[in-house]
Amino acid sequence: MAVYTDVSADELEAFIEGYDIGKLLSYKGIAEGVENSNFLLHTEAGYYILTLYEKRVAAADLPFFLCLMEHLASRGLTCPQPVHTRKGDTLGTLAGRPAAIVTFLEGMWLRRADARHCAAVGEALARLHLAGADFAMTRANALSVAGWRPLFESCRERADEVQHGMGATIGEELALLEHCWPRNLPQGVIHADLFPDNVFFLGDRLSGLIDFYFACTDTLAYDVAICLNAWCFEPDFSYNVTKGRALIQAYRKTRALSEAELDAMPLLARGAALRFLLTRLVDWLNVPSGALVKPKSPHEYFRKLRFHQRAKSVRDYGVEIGELAS
């Protein structure tokens, strides 16, 4: 169970007295998620999600995340909504941690996605980017290109414990991306972590997006590249062009991608792969003492990075030649 901070029933009952959601009937820790402690609450008013924000999440960033979810919902995007206390607050303190309650979103995440699901993700991502265009708050992406070298330096000496040659490969890739990273593409609010477990479906219909705690202000096409990494590879780490084409086409029908954004996609995809390779490598080598969660293997993104290094253009991701000008 991915819960770092335990909460007693007495503590929780006292906490929810400040909300107009009725009495606590039951609660349980949620096994998925590795950044925060999450609980499913059942109260007299229904079901809710309680999140205790652990030390890796900066308390100063929490208003950005919570206000963003409210803003996106006001623009028609389905996502959890912060529940306000009777005093109007969305953030409190529980068990010594900043804490918030958000609405429960119906649906479940897919263990096996096909091209139809990837198309739904592409459309939803584009809608998110458009909905966030007039969001007034900004937050720098601490896990963009400027943040990768400190991560690498923290694990450089031990990288080859995971796979021989991994340290040298990452070092060479990082130097290239630092030099060539696209810096003049359209910017805005991005989700930055739209993996399958953060997208809910009811049957084949996408029912909403969750977990906005990596959201930030960054390159919009970089968010597309993250999704290509997260959704369009098979279990053997081969890239599925059909899935990639479906995702990009659906995105472009809702928000156009410029020629510059399309041209930059291979580099952006390499950067996205390196970002998740580095964070997974750091977690793999530094499992918190007593954490009841198994870190995700960095091998997956090492293999995906190899594919991106071989890609010559956006055509390798499923965009046909005739579609580039559309």
- The pLDDT, as a whole number, for residue 1 is 39
User: For residue 221, what are the domain limits?
Assistant: 115-323
Q: pLDDT tens digits for 216-273?
A: 999 999 999 999 999 999 999 999 999 999 999 999 999 999 999 999 999 999 999 9
- The pLDDT, as a whole number, for residue 54 is 85
The CATH number that applies at residue 69 is 3.30.200.20
CB atoms within 10 A of CB 122: 27
Alpha-carbon distance 49 to 39, whole Å? 6
The CATH number that applies at residue 296 is 3.90.1200.10
- Are residue 267 and residue 138 in the same domain, yes or no? yes
Alpha-carbon distance 325 to 258, whole Å? 9
Q: Into how many domains does the chain fold?
A: 2
Contact in structure between 67 and 48 (CB atoms under 8 Å): no
pTM above 0.85, yes or no: yes
**Structure-token pair, residue 83:** 């529940």
Low-confidence ranges of the chain (pLDDT < 70): 1-4, 32-34, 288-293, 321-326
- Are residue 192 and residue 319 in the same domain, yes or no? yes
Q: pLDDT tens digits for 94-121?
A: 999 999 999 999 999 999 999 999 999 9
Write down which residue in 54, 79, 103 finishes a domain: 103
CB atoms within 10 A of CB 84: 14
| 266 is a domain residue | yes
Write down which residue in 103, 132, 153 finishes a domain: 103
- Are residue 160 and residue 60 in the same domain, yes or no? no
